[in-house]
């Protein structure tokens, strides 16, 4: 795991926070990783001086650049004290709450169907990587993952 610290200063702007999120993608892609398994690669970007009243800037930046991350086979998530992202299996659990604002970057994983079924191009990237795990000759899998995958296939015209 790689950890980076980025300062936003006293008056962060949407452009500055978005540039930090965008440049973190490039930094992730340029990192010389130890080990061969890309699923074990992660980068956490800490924004220790991003104040509570400015955390919405991180939310908006993450939304604006997610397409770029997914196109590279990566997930990007924001975590901070005001983040109201809920767990897929337990909507009462605010899974992205953190005492310090951070951005987490990692490879797309099998369970990310919950986050990548919202848009056709995201699902296509997910399907390219994990579609083979949902075929008739594959081992039994978590029913919730299978149902979300099948529903996404129907939504985006892969199945009737």
Residue span of the structural domain in which 8 resides? 2-107
Transcribe 72-86 into DSSP letters. TTEEEEEE-TT---B
Do 88 and 140 sit in the same domain of this protein? no
25 and 54 share one domain? yes
* 13/76 same-domain check: yes
Distance CA 91, CA 15 (A): 31
pLDDT of residue 116: 95
Predicted confidence (pLDDT) at residue 160 exceeds the cutoff of 70: no
Is the domain of 8 the same as that of 74? yes
Is 160 a member of any domain? no
Domain count, the chain: 2
Q: For position 119, what pLDDT does the model report?
A: 96
Is 44:103 a contact under the CB 8 Å cutoff? yes
Instruction: Looking at the structure, tell me whether residues 29 and 92 fall in a common domain.
Output: yes
Instruction: Please state, rounded to an integer, the average pLDDT across all residues of the chain.
Output: 94
129 in the same domain as 67: no
Q: Tell me: do 123 and 46 sit in the same domain.
A: no
pLDDT band at 143 (very low <50, low <70, confident <90, very high): confident
45 pLDDT more than 70: yes
Task: Give me the CATH number covering residue 76.
Answer: 3.30.110
- Provide the token pair at 70: 């997914």
Q: Say whether 122 sits in a helix, a strand or coil.
A: helix
Task: Tell whether 103 and 50 lie within a shared domain.
Answer: yes
Say yes or no: 100 and 150 in one domain.
no
pLDDT in tens, 90-127: 889 999 999 999 999 999 999 999 999 999 999 999 99
Of 74 and 91, which is predicted with more confidence?
A: 74
Looking at the fold, whether 17 and 89 belong to one and the same domain comes out as yes
Q: Are residues 101 and 133 in the same domain?
A: no
Position 73 scores a pLDDT of 96
């Amino acid at each position: 795991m790689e950890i980076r610290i980025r300062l936003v200063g006293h008056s962060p702007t949407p452009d500055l926070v978005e540039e930090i999120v965008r440049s973190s993608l490039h930094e992730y892609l340029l990192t010389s990783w130890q080990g061969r398994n890309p699923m074990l690669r992660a980068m956490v970007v800490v924004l220790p001086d991003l104040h509570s009243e400015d955390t919405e800037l991180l939310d908006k930046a993450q939304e604006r650049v997610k397409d770029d991350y997914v196109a590279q086979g990566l997930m990007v998530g924001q975590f901070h004290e005001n983040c109201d992202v809920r767990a897929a299996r337990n909507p009462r659990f605010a899974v992205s709450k953190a005492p310090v604002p951070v951005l987490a970057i990692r490879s797309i994983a099998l369970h990310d169907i919950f986050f990548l079924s919202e848009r056709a191009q995201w699902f296509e990237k997910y399907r390219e990587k994990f579609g083979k795990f949902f075929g008739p000759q594959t081992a039994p899998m978590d029913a919730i993952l299978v149902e979300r995958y099948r529903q996404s296939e129907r939504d985006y015209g892969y199945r009737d």
